[in-house]
A and B are shown apart, each in its own frame.
Chain A
Amino acid sequence: MGPSLRRHNLNIQAVKMAIKQRKAIIFAISIATAVVLILWKPTVLIYGLQAAGLYAAVAIPMGLVLGIVHIVNLSHGEFMMLASYATYTVCRALGVDPLIALIPAALVTALFGWVVFQLTIRRALKAPELNQLILTFGLAIAFSQIINLIFTSQTYKLSLEYSSMSLDIGDLSFGVWSFVFVAVAVIYAVGLQMFLTKTRTGKAALAVGQNPKGAAIVGIDVYRTYGLVFALAIGLVGAMGALFLTKSAIFPGVGSPFTMKSFSLVAMAGIGNIPGILGASVLLGLAENFLRSFRGTRDWAEIVYFVLIIAVILSRSLKGKKS
């Protein structure tokens, strides 16, 4: 036992060293990038981080569903779009601010998510993965078409003073409201991490994600857990729907790029890696805004997520081959 244990420890140490080294390299590159951007293109850094916050806050709940319920929800962004429209309608009718509607919007969309789960997704969980993709894709189309029928394809926007607040530093002027997305993304990431590792219900959810059969054996109601996790994720996206409305115009197709970008961010981070989604979002936000800052590459910004996901998947499969 002695020698083999020691060898094992050595291996762990080597792996730990390698991880530390990698972390140090990533850290150094990030700092260097930040410094270069601050000096050369500060707005890329600012708007890049704001976009990253928005992307991460939407993608994190999708990562939660993929990690625990093991489905790719292709109607993820559409749930946010629905929440935006619901919030818009209520705010217009009652004359209230979407920020007041934030928590009610989250609760109502969570409930809606739970119902959708029980009526549709639950029945497809044992089906082949392709059926699940078709189901959630179908939901996405249904959601945006229903909104199209009720609201037409016209765009709606609330004009709110606070969302156009800006800050001047020297001759640099930029909007600050969108930093709220960064705050929400961090709250989501930290909150979920705490929930999953510190609370009994969270641990049960994690257990269900890691081994549903084992979870049932210890008395956990697996399908109920799936339903609750799905509802929680949709609720978090619902809150983002209300928040999104403070800043942006909405239209029936507004959710679909969020579905695609969320999916690529989750795939880049790897299943079950919530902090990784934050990192991937920063990469995507910066890359998009960097391209947008040059006239020649402006139009490429919207598809850079596609390039990133291909690059990450290629590098991962190359690494897989090596080891």
Chain B
Amino acid sequence: MLKIQGLECGYGRMKVLEGINFEVGAESVGLFGPNGAGKTTLISAVMGMIKPWKGSIELEGVRIGGAETFTIARMGVALVPQERELFPGMSVEDNLMLGAAYIPHAKDDIPNQLEKVFELFPILKERRTQYAGTMSGGQQRMLAIGRALMSKPRLLILDEPSLGLQPSIVAEVFEVLKSLKSSISILVTEQNVRESLKAIDRGYVLENGRIVLEDSAEGLKTNPHVVKSYLGL
């Protein structure tokens, strides 16, 4: 699905990522690391929001390094950004509709997808005419996830999906992720490592712009470094 080799990139002259080798197959993959490690930067590079300096990014064998964000989105990569990036002055329903309207393989199936998303997040159905900008932070997070799902993604990327969500909803989001796992590839970054380890197959640990560890979920759970730094035991 997604294959990154020798990726180096950053902002202006500041290098953030170096020597990144990274892969997401038909599975769900976690990306962990402290604040400022470069998780969001890695995702931005995949989404074409920043250009790679070196190395290659491939999506199903097609090189996408340097492609425009909207092209990558149309190829089937959906992002739930850390900052949500909704359309605040538009209704919940319009936000969801726009999630699919410009994706070739999703735009003809909007009513169906809408029903599925409403089933997953009933609150969005209840608030379908409310402006996205007037929803609470957690509701906006759900809307951002719903908007991404509308596009029938092949690869779903979630940047800190549980940020600002109450624990019961976090559990629900991870339930959703688990239920999706069989049909789409998932890449998720999380501070909530314990919860996410239950939902993923494999994970990477990113520190100071380099990948320092890569293992299966089981392996990470018992890895002394992970246990000490991320599970806080």
- How many A-B pairs have beta carbons closer than 8 Å: the answer is 67
Interface hits, A109-166 → B, CB 8 Å: none
Cβ 8 A contact of A207, one of B47, B78, B81, B98: B98
Known contacts A203-B98, A207-B98, A222-B70; A217/B47 CB under 8 A: yes
What are the residues of chain B within 8 A of A222 when measuring CB–CB? 70
**B101 interfacial by beta-carbon distance below 8 Å:** yes
Among residues of A, the one whose C-beta sits closest to the C-beta of B76 is A219
- A218 CA to B85 CA, complexed, in Å: 10
Q: How large is the interface on A (under 10, 10 to 19, 20 to 34, 35 or more residues)?
A: 10 to 19
Cβ 8 A contact of B90, one of A203, A219, A221: A203
- A222 CA to B151 CA, complexed, in Å: 18
Render A186-222 as a binary contact track against B, CB cut-off 8 A, 1 for contact: 0000000000000010011011001101111111111
**B199 interfacial by beta-carbon distance below 8 Å:** no
**B180 interfacial by beta-carbon distance below 8 Å:** no
What's the minimum C-beta distance from A71 to chain B, rounded to whole angstroms? 19
B70 and A216 contacting across the interface, CB-CB below 8 Å: yes
Known contacts A219-B70, A219-B74, A221-B70; A214/B86 CB under 8 A: yes
Known contacts A217-B81, A219-B74, A219-B102; A206/B69 CB under 8 A: no
What's the minimum C-beta distance from A270 to chain B, rounded to whole angstroms? 13
What's the minimum C-beta distance from B139 to chain A, rounded to whole angstroms? 12
A218 and B86 contacting across the interface, CB-CB below 8 Å: no
A220 and B87 contacting across the interface, CB-CB below 8 Å: no
B47 and A204 contacting across the interface, CB-CB below 8 Å: no
**B207 interfacial by beta-carbon distance below 8 Å:** no
- A206 CA to B90 CA, complexed, in Å: 8
What's the minimum C-beta distance from B143 to chain A, rounded to whole angstroms? 11
What are the residues of chain A within 8 A of B88 when measuring CB–CB? 210-211
Cβ 8 A contact of B94, one of A203, A216, A220, A272: A203
**B73 interfacial by beta-carbon distance below 8 Å:** yes
B73 and A216 contacting across the interface, CB-CB below 8 Å: yes
B97 and A211 contacting across the interface, CB-CB below 8 Å: no
What are the residues of chain B within 8 A of A204 when measuring CB–CB? 98, 101-102
With most chain B CB atoms within 10 A of its CB, the pick from A210, A219, A221 is A219
Among residues of B, the one whose C-beta sits closest to the C-beta of A207 is B87
Render B29-68 as a binary contact track against A, CB cut-off 8 A, 1 for contact: 0000000000000000001010000000000000000001
- A219 CA to B77 CA, complexed, in Å: 10
Interface hits, A212-244 → B, CB 8 Å: 213-222
What are the residues of chain B within 8 A of A217 when measuring CB–CB? 47, 69, 73, 78-79, 81, 85
Among residues of B, the one whose C-beta sits closest to the C-beta of A221 is B70
What are the residues of chain A within 8 A of B69 when measuring CB–CB? 216-217
What are the residues of chain A within 8 A of B219 when measuring CB–CB? none
What's the minimum C-beta distance from B50 to chain A, rounded to whole angstroms? 12
- A272 CA to B87 CA, complexed, in Å: 14
Interface hits, B129-186 → A, CB 8 Å: 147, 151
**B103 interfacial by beta-carbon distance below 8 Å:** yes
**B99 interfacial by beta-carbon distance below 8 Å:** yes
**B25 interfacial by beta-carbon distance below 8 Å:** no
A218 and B90 contacting across the interface, CB-CB below 8 Å: no
With most chain B CB atoms within 10 A of its CB, the pick from A214, A216, A217 is A217
5 A-B pairs within 8 Å (CB atoms) are namely A200-B101, A210-B87, A216-B70, A220-B98, A221-B68
A residues contacting B by CB (< 8 A) are 200, 203-204, 206-207, 210-211, 213-222, 272
The 5 closest A-B pairs by CB, nearest first: A214-B85, A219-B102, A219-B73, A216-B69, A210-B87
